[in-house]
Amino acid sequence: MLTNDKLLVAGTRRVLLGGAVAALAASTTAPSMAQAQARPSKTVWKYDESALVLIDYQPEMFKAVRSEPNPALIELNVRFLIKAARAFDVPIVLSTVGVKLGVNSPTFRSIAEELPGINEIDRSTMNAWEDPAFRSAVEKTGRKRLVFGALWTEICLVYPAISALEDGYEAMFVADAVGGTSQVAHDTGILRLVQAGAIPNTTRATIDEWFRDWSTPQAQKYRDISAWYRSELQPAADVAPNR
């Protein structure tokens, strides 16, 4: 038979043990403040919060695309993104790989023509995020929400987007403005990106997410670039894909 003192001690032990278990559960299941801050926001993205990051849209990369959409549509969608970014004053970072080394050619001509005067950052690294000049250019935009496009999905898109997430940026990728060396490579790259916390989007949806409101000063520019895109869309869609 337990005395009142013994009952009190036993009850106290149960309370303390329950508190310890609860604290342990919280520490193992609840995200830390740093983890919570690193998670992508569920809010829609504004143009004045975003930067557009374009990586390795070079002739050699286009020729090796074997996923959907076809390279002509990818090229068109990239140009559409650039036109929208320029209309909304979204900073653009452009990078290539292996040009100075003589391995690859510069940015695909039609894409480069949309970016007169931009500094093309050439690298030797597979992961653009590991190139100091590239990282510096991204930091100088002052934006923490990065919209990525790159060739190929499984390498030149996946690596820097995941690295940016690790460094506290938010990452969105435009799925119909990228492509892989096979459909399975492209799809696997997208799965890896989403698993890491990057946000999937499409070209039109990204631009409309930036635009948002017909009453804004950007409305006429939006109409103009949308009309251009519609006029170019069917011819690009009709181009046979690389096989």
What crossing angle do the helices spanning 71-87 and 203-211 adopt, rounded to 10°?
A: 10
CA distance 98 to 58: 10
Q: Which pLDDT score is estimated for 51?
A: 98
Strands (E), 61-196: 92-97, 120-123, 145-150, 170-174
198 vs 32: which has the higher pLDDT? 198
Q: Chain-wide mean pLDDT for the chain?
A: 87
Question: Within this chain, do residues 86 and 11 fall inside the same structural domain, yes or no?
Answer: no
Q: Tell me what the mean pLDDT of segment 180-192 comes to.
A: 98
Question: Within this chain, do residues 170 and 234 fall inside the same structural domain, yes or no?
Answer: yes
**What's the token pair of residue 238?**
């009709």
**Which pLDDT band holds residue 243 (cuts at 50, 70, 90)?**
low
CA distance 217 to 215: 7
Does residue 151 have a pLDDT over 90? yes
Question: Within this chain, do residues 73 and 186 fall inside the same structural domain, yes or no?
Answer: yes
Is residue 243 in a domain?
Answer: no
pLDDT in tens, 106-126: 999 999 999 999 999 999 999
The pTM score is 0.82
Does residue 95 have a pLDDT over 80? yes
Range of the domain at 23: 4-34
Does residue 74 have a pLDDT over 80? yes
Question: Within this chain, do residues 18 and 65 fall inside the same structural domain, yes or no?
Answer: no
Question: Within this chain, do residues 134 and 219 fall inside the same structural domain, yes or no?
Answer: yes
